[in-house]
Structure 1
């Protein structure tokens, strides 16, 4: 598997040990986690981090995660991950998170589109899913811009910081 791929403005590098501090800073940041879930303990982050460092294949149960960097500056922009959800139907879930300074630049749309194209070409995925809270309008817009369709809205689906939120379930079929 390629450890690094590129889009027009971004470089995606497979998660590596040297990315620990970035990952820790993202998952302990209440602002970044507002629509995703509660901030995580360092122990929980370390456990997930170690899983995601393992080699990945279609049969893996852990996420394949890339660090997103601006190609021109090499600044850390965020994370994007895919995880196999159905091997028989070649379905993957997509998840992403961006640091505040890089929101509103079109990076999320560029990233999700590029990683979906990469996952189709490299792994043969044919369907992609994503979940986000109804109130996370920016993420919903990104998913719709890359061609995902809203399949279902489920009220009181997930608890985030003691509050039940409505989740939006999206999908995209590729041939």
Structure 2
């Protein structure tokens, strides 16, 4: 995984427009909003950055980029997220990339606390989180609207082992 570059625009745009990717994440953003979101992720990232660290997922065998993963820092906690091209759904790439991201963030950046918010019904994303060590902490009813329908937010949390050992 490497930080997103200007060359990754096509991948980012596809991920943010494909109904199979976004249907349980968010309404399709405008082209301008997608471009703004993409450009906000391009500057070099460090732990005090306000923008998302956005990394591309790449197949080792072919070099094909298949999705993005990353996080943004808020109040000392890293909020994780990931989007994967539909033809790669269900093959374990989300879990593999999230575990690698957590390991890197914890060991190299000293980040110990992670969170994720998943829209009700996004069972695949919830499986990725639980396989990666996250626990469901809270369900907030009618918290998020997609396509004119209200969904509950499922709020997950993960504390790295280093933090657990010091508590």
Matching of residues 23-102 of structure 1 within 5 Å: 23-87=12-76, 91-102=77-88
Equivalent position of 2:108 in the other structure:
122
The answer to whether the 8 Å contact 1:28/1:41 transfers is no
1:91-121: CA deviations, max 9, x gaps?
A: 1010001111111111111110000000111
Give the equivalent residue in structure 2 for 1:4: none
Mapped partners of 1:97, 1:142: distance in 2: 12
Aligned counterpart, 1:7:
none
Bigger share in helix: 2
1:20 counterpart residue number: 9
Deviation at 1:140, TM superposition (A): 0.5
After TM superposition, the runs of 4+ consecutive aligned structure 1 residues lying more than 2 A away are none
Q: Gaps (5+ residues) in structure 1? A: 1-11
Scaled by the length of structure 2, what TM-score is found?
Answer: 0.93
2:165 counterpart residue number: none
User: Which whole-Å deviations, capped at 9, do the CAs of 1:47-94 have from their partners, x for residues lacking one?
Assistant: 11111101212221110001111110112211101100123xxx1010
Instruction: Report the TM-score when normalising by structure 1.
Output: 0.89
- How far, CA to CA, are the matches of 2:85 and 2:98 in structure 1? 15
Q: Distance in 2 between matches of 1:46 and 1:148?
A: 31
Q: Contact 1:150/1:171 (CA < 8 Å) preserved in 2?
A: yes
RMSD, aligned CA: 0.9
**How many residues were matched structurally?**
161
- TM-aligned CA deviation for residue 167 of structure 1: 1.0
Inter-partner Cα distance in structure 2 for 1:141 and 1:68: 18
- SS of the residue corresponding to residue 53 of structure 1 reads coil
